Structure 1
Amino acid sequence: MKLKFNAHGCKMTTIKSYDVIIIGAGIFGLSCAYACAGRNLSVLVVDAKKIGFGASGGILGAMAPYTPDQWHAKKEYQFQALSTAEEHWQEVDGLSSLPSGYGRIGRISPIIHERVYNLALTRHEEAKSNWKKFKWNVIKSHELVSPDAAPYGLIHDTLSARIFPSKACASLAQACSFMGVEFRENTYVSNFDTGVISGPWGNETASSIIIATGYEGFDSLEKFFPTSMGSGVKGQAALMNISLGDAPQIYANGVYVVPHYDGTTAIGSTSENKWTEPHDTDVQLDELIERARIICPKIKNAKLITKWAGVRPKARRREPLIGKVPMADGIFLAMGGFKIGFGIAHKIGLSLADLIENKPNDLPKSYTIEHHLEKN
C-alpha cells in the first residue's frame, strides 16, 4: 500500500498504483508484461478467466514467415521477431524452468503447380539477401510427404519454428512472476479509462494500461473508435500420439502438421468466420485430419489424443492492432495476433514497452491503429 496526504495534510491509504496494467493474459499480454518487467516497470496482469485460456492456449504452434521476396517493413519486422525467437524462448524457459516447446525445425511445403515451382526458385535467390543465414530451398522430395502431394517438389525453409502454445504461456507467465509481475485470474474488467481499470472487485490504477484481450475485447473499444476494430475467427486442431522428432513442420494447402517436442504431433487448423459454439469441434476438423493423413502417410494410423477449438482475434484489417489509443492518454492496444501472434509476440512486447517509455520503435505502418482506421 502507498500512503498519500489529502488537502488537509492527513494520511490516507490508497490502492497500490502500478506503472503498467495489462488486461489479458494471452501471448500478447504476457509478452508485454515480460518486456515491461525487463525495463524495471511494475506490472499487474488481469484476466477474466485463466492465463492462456483463449486462443493462446491452443495446441498447433506453427511459427512461419512471410515469403522472402518483395521485401518491406512488415516482413522485416516479422523476420526480426522470428530470427530472435530462439534466444528469447531459451531465456524464458531458463528463467521459468518450464518447457515452451520452442524449436526451430523449419517447414516443408509441397509444390503442386509449375508456376509456384518457378516462383519458389526466384524466392530462393531473394532469401539469400533478405533472410541472411536462413534458407528457402527447393527440394525434390521428403520422407514425410507423399510424392502424390508434391508433384513439383517442396519448398524447405529453415526459418520456421514450432512452439507448444499452452505450455509456452505457462513458461512465460512463470518467468514474469519471477520478474515481479503480479497476476490476477478470474478478474473481469468492466471498464477502463486513463489511469484506471475497474470491475465488481474494485479498481486498480496505473500510469499506462495495455489492452491485450482476445476477440471479445474488440467490443470494449467501441467508446474510442467510430467502427468495429475486429472480430473472432474460429479454429480447430487435433493432437496425435505420434513422434516425428525434430522433423520440419508441413504446410500444404491450408493443412499444418507440426511435430512437438513431447512426442506428439499437432494438426490444424480450420478458419471459420461463421460459428456458434467457440469450443466445439465438428466434421470440419475430421476432414482436416484425413487430409493430413493423406499428405503425411507417417501419421496415417496415429491415434488421436485430443481435439481443440478456440476463437482467434482478427483485427479490422487482418494485421495486428498495436499502438497508443488516440485521444486516450496512457491507453495502448496489443490485439489481433490472429495466425501470427506467437511468431511476433516477444517483439510486440518490446514495441509496447518502447511506446510506453516514449522511445523510437519500428512498428510497421500496417500494424498501427491509424492504419486500421483508414477507409478502404
Structure 2
Amino acid sequence: MKRIIIVGGGVIGLSIAFELMKKGCNVTLLEKGKLAGKASGAAAGMLGVHTETRGNPSMTSLAKESRDLFPALAEQLLNCSGIDIGLRQNGMIMPAMTGREQHLLQEEANSPQGMKEELRWLEERELRKMEPSLSRSFIGGLYIPRDGNLLAPRLSEALAISAATMGAVLHEGTEVNTLIMKGRSIIGVNTTRGPLYGDEVVVAGGAWSQHILRRVGIKLDAAPVKGECISVTPKEGFLNRTIVSDDVYLVPKADGTLTIGATEQVGSFSEDVAAESVSRLLAKACTIAPGIAAAAWGKAWAGTRPKTSSRLPFMGRVPDVEGLSLATGHYRNGILLAPITGVLMADLLSDKDCERRLGYEYTRQWDRNRGSTTSEVSR
C-alpha cells in the first residue's frame, strides 16, 4: 500500500486525501494550524467558471470539468460525513450599467464559448424580473446559468470527515519544518511531531507552500494575495443568484447570508480586516443592490490566496526530484478546482497514467525545455 504524506490541510490537500483513500492508499495529512483554517475557510465559495477563467481556455476547460463534479461529490460527502455543503447551482449574473458594458457582455454571450455554456443576455425587463433587488441603473446583464456557489467551510469539513472515516490520518497543529532528502529523492518530512517517512510527499500548502519548498532549494514564482470579505443577512429572497461586477461580488448562501467580496492586497499574510475595506465593499455592494444597506450585519474576515504569475496552478511532480509533487497556486479558484485537483493528483500519485488529463499546461509549466511560456519553478 503506497504511503503518501500531504502537507497542507486546506481544501486542496483534503480533496487529494479523500480521492486517494478511494484508491486504497495510506494517507497522512499534516496541517500546521487547524484544517481549512486559512484561505479555504475564508473563501466565498463561488463556482464561477466563466467569471473566474475568462480569456484562459485551458483554465476554463479544467474549471468546467471540476464544476460538473460537484453534484456527485456533494452526494458522496453527505452520505459519508452527514454534512450538506450547501451546493446551489442557481446561476450568476454580470449586470451592465453602460452601453459599452452591454456590448462587451453581449459579445461574450454570442462567442463560441458563451454559446456552449448557454450564456444569455438579459434585457432590462428580464433582469428586473429575475433579480428585482438590483439597482435600477442596470440596463441588462449576462446570465450564466450553470455556475453557482456552496458553503466553503462545510466543503472542507465534509472532505476531512469523509477522508478520516475512510482511514486517512489527519494531524492538526503539526508543522513541517523540512523535507527529508536522500540524494535527489524526497523520502519524508521532519515535523514538530518528529520525522515521518513515505513513498510520496505532496505539498499543498497554498500561499505557504513556498516556505516549505525554499528549504530544499525550490523557488516558486508565486505571491500571497490577501482578500477581505464581509457578510450580511438581508431579507429572505433578497437575491437569488450570485451577482458579479468588475470589482465586487455578491453571493447569496444556502444559510440565508450574503457574502460580499473581495479586496486584494499582494504580498500580505495578515488576517486583519481594515475598516476602510469594509466601508468600500459595502459602498460598492449598495450601488449594485441598494437594499443591502438595511441588511443585518454579519462579520468580516480575511484569507491569503496563492497567485502564480501565469494564474495557472502548479499540479504535478517536481522535475528531477523523486517523490515530490505539488498542488498549489489555485489563487481565487481553490474551491472551484478542488474536486478535479483531487481526482487528477490521486490518479498521478496512485501510478495511474494521467499525462493526457494533466495536459492542460499545468504539468508543462514545470519544463522549460518544452517551450512553455509558464515556467515557474527554478532552483
Tell me, yes or no, whether TM beats 0.5.
yes
| Number of the residue aligned with 1:93 | 78
Tell me, yes or no, if the aligned pair for 2:178 and 2:189 is still in contact at 8 Å: yes
Cα 1:179–1:319 change in 2 (3 A) is same
Q: Contact conserved, 1:240 with 1:305, CA < 8 A, in 2?
A: yes
**Secondary structure, counterpart of 1:98 in structure 2:** coil
Name the counterpart of 2:151.
164
SS at match of 1:292: helix
Q: Are residue 212 (structure 1) and residue 201 (structure 2) matched?
A: no
Equivalent of residue 66 in structure 2, options 81, 86, 96: 81
Partners of 1:71 and 1:203 in 2: CA distance: 41
Kept in 1, the 8 Å contact 2:220–2:376? The answer is: no
The residue type equivalent to 1:307 in the other structure is A
CA gap of 1:304–1:173, structure 2 versus 1, over 3 A, is same
Match of 2:357 in 1: 362
Aligned to 2:325: 332
Amino acid corresponding to residue 116 of structure 2 in structure 1: N
State which of 213, 222, 240 in structure 1 corresponds to 2:214: 222
Q: Any conservation in 2 of the 1:26–1:53 contact (CA below 8 Å)?
A: yes
Letter in 2 for 1:65: V
Distance in 2 of aligned mates of 1:176 and 1:335 = 20
TM-score (norm 2): 0.86
> How many angstroms does 1:174 deviate by?
0.9
Q: How many angstroms apart in 1 are the aligned matches of 2:309 and 2:218?
A: 12
Shift of 1:246: 7.4
Residues 93, 172 of structure 1: 8 Å contact kept: no
* Partners of 2:179 and 2:216 within 8 A in 1: no
Cα pair distance change 1:234/1:195, threshold 3 Å? same
Counterpart check, 1:255 vs 2:244: no
Q: Is the 8 A contact 1:44 1:183 kept in 2?
A: yes
Of 23, 47, 50, 1:39 maps to: 23
Moved more, 238-247 or 156-165: 238-247
Structure 1 residues 23 and 233, CA, compared in 2 at 3 Å: closer, same or farther? same
Aligned equivalents of 1:45, 1:305: Cα separation in 2:
33
In the alignment, what sits opposite 2:94?
109
| Contact map agreement 2:250 2:261 (CA 8 A) in 1 | yes
How far does residue 233 in structure 1 lie from its aligned partner after superposition? 0.4
Is residue 40 of structure 2 the alignment partner of residue 56 of structure 1?
Answer: yes
Deviation at 1:355, TM superposition (A): 1.6
Calculate percent identity across the aligned residue pairs: 22
| Higher alpha-carbon deviation: 61-70 or 243-252 | 61-70
Q: Measured at CA, do residues 38 and 305 of structure 1 come closer, stay the same or move farther in structure 2, by a change above 3 Å?
A: same
How far did 1:228 drift? 3.8
Structure 1 position 216, deviation (Å): 2.0
User: Structure 1: which amino acid aligns with 2:208?
Assistant: E
Report the CA distance between 1:188 and its aligned residue: 0.5
1:158-217 alpha-carbon deviations (Å, 9 max, x no partner): 121111111211111111111211100000010114121112321111111110002122
Structure 1, unpaired ranges of 5+: 1-16
| Cα contact 1:24–1:46 (8 A) shared by 2 | yes
Q: Please give the alpha-carbon distance, in whole angstroms, between the structure 1 residues aligned to 2:216 and 2:21.
A: 27
Amino acid at match of 1:97: G
TM-score by length of 1: 0.87
- Contact 1:256 1:268 (C-alpha < 8 Å) held by counterparts: yes
CA offset at residue 297 of structure 1?
2.3
Between the aligned partners of 1:59 and 1:326, the Cα distance in structure 2 is 31
Query: Which residue does 1:373 correspond to in 2?
Result: 375
The residue aligned with 1:146 is 135
Contact 2:133 2:238 in 1 (8 A): no
**Distance verdict in 2 for CA 1:294–1:344, change over 3 Å:** same
State whether residues 33 and 181 of structure 1, in contact with CA within 8 Å, keep that contact through their aligned partners in structure 2. Answer: yes
Q: SS where residue 66 of structure 1 aligns?
A: helix
1:320 counterpart = 2:310: no
Shift of 1:224: 5.4
Conserved 8 A contact 1:240-1:302: yes
Tell me if the contact between 2:4 and 2:201 (Cα under 8 Å) persists in the aligned partners.
yes
1:231 equivalent in structure 2: 223
- How far apart are 1:366 and its partner, in Å? 4.7
Shift in Å, 1:57:
0.6
In the alignment, which residue of structure 2 is the partner of 1:272? 265
Alpha-carbon offset, residue 295 of structure 1: 0.8
Q: 1:300: Cα distance to partner?
A: 2.0
1:276, CA displacement in angstroms? 6.9
**1:235, 1:309 within 8 Å by CA — same for their partners in 2?**
yes
Q: Which amino acid aligns with 2:353?
A: K
> CA separation in 2, counterparts of 1:279 and 1:168?
24
Change (3 A) 1:374 1:332: closer
Matching residue's letter, 2:375: L
Please list every run of 5 or more consecutive structure 2 residues that lacks an aligned counterpart in the other structure. 181-185
Partner Cα separation in structure 2 for residue 88 and residue 205 of structure 1: 31
Q: What letter is aligned with 2:141?
A: L
